[in-house]
Amino acid sequence: MQEPVVSTQFSFPGLTHLYHGKVRDVYTINHDLLVMVVTDRISAFDVILPQGIPYKGQILNQIAAIFLDASSDICPNWKVATPDPMVTVGLRCEAFPVEMIVRGYLCGSAWRAYNNGAREMCGVALPDGLRENEQLPTPIITPTTKAEQGSHDEDISKEDILRLGLVAPDEYALLEHYALSLFARGSDIAAKRGLILVDTKYEFGKKEDKIYLIDEIHTPDSSRYFYAEGYQERFEQGIAQKQLSKEFVREWLMVNGFHGKAGETVPEMTNIVVQQISDRYIELYEHLIGETFVKKDSSVMLHRIEENINQFLASQLV
């Protein structure tokens, strides 16, 4: 099994800041460019799991790059180049302190809250009688605050975002428009591949008073997909949907007694479990993109990544 890339510590010309996120290592160059290395780390319930997943970083980075290119007519985005299968270089933007969660179906954490009696989510009212995995009458936005490192994102309503001055009213209206338009585009692309885009998140930032879509988009880490074939039959029978997303990792953790709460221990991630997770990520890539996934094996992967980034940065100085 390919050795996963779980940590990087490069030193690039012009490096002004290095941030190790849950799954990405982000290098700031000259306060202007971000070099995002998408590692093979995996997180759930805001906890970094002890084992990396081979090819996960490559898969997430390539899916995000494809969808950023496929939606650039809707909203400008931060991507400048992808010099390596695991790397995206883009504009450094000032991120808005909220994430825009768009939900087209009632499932996951939203269903768990609804099933426990909640009938309002982030200020959006939901009717009685909805069932798990049911399509909502229209997609809804349920924002969250963007947490500091080590903290949990918190649900927040549009009204509170505006009241607290987290986003200006005119800018928030544009974020809503962009988020719903991007969700519609992602849904159309997924439908052509026999998938349903169930829910996803978008992050936005500003640079020189212009709003950009930032970070990843429509990947299995930021989105949930159902298979379209069999969806209706499964829904009517009240059985679990066949899905491609990171939710199966959360479900495996919960079945094994881990919910991300203090004092709980992450269950053992055996080689078999790691391989199964890797296979599921590859499956999503091939279904969503419609191409065979090409594994970029390398016995010197870190060296390859560093060399590709250095070559790109050098080309920017020519």
CA-to-CA dists, residue 279 to 53, 56, 89, angstroms = 9, 9, 27
What is this structure's pTM? 0.90
E strands within 46-142? Answer: 47-48, 79-84, 87-91, 94-95, 98-106, 120-121, 124-125, 134-141
For the segment 147-190, what is each residue's pLDDT rounded down to a tens digit?
Answer: 665 456 799 999 999 999 999 999 999 999 999 999 999 999 99
Q: What is the pLDDT of residue 149?
A: 52
Q: Where are the domains of the chain?
A: 96-245
Out of 3.40.50.720, 3.50.50.60, 2.40.50.140, 3.30.470.20, the CATH code matching 96-245 is: 3.30.470.20
Assess contact for 1 and 55: CB atoms under 8 A: no
Number of continuous H segments (helices) and E segments (strands) in the chain: 8, 17
Q: What is the pLDDT of residue 147?
A: 63
Q: What is the pLDDT of residue 247?
A: 78
C-alpha closest to that of 150 among 51, 47, 253 = 47
For the segment 242-252, what is each residue's pLDDT rounded down to a tens digit?
Answer: 887 787 888 89
Assess contact for 93 and 171: CB atoms under 8 A: no
Residues of the chain with pLDDT under 50: 150
Q: What is the pLDDT of residue 148?
A: 60
Instruction: Give the three-class secondary structure for 119.
Output: coil
Instruction: Give the three-class secondary structure for 310.
Output: helix
Assess contact for 166 and 97: CB atoms under 8 A: yes
Distance of CA 198 to the CA centre of its chain: 13
Q: What is the pLDDT of residue 150?
A: 47
Q: Give the number of C-alpha atoms closer than 13 A to the C-alpha of residue 19, restricted to the C-beta side.
A: 15
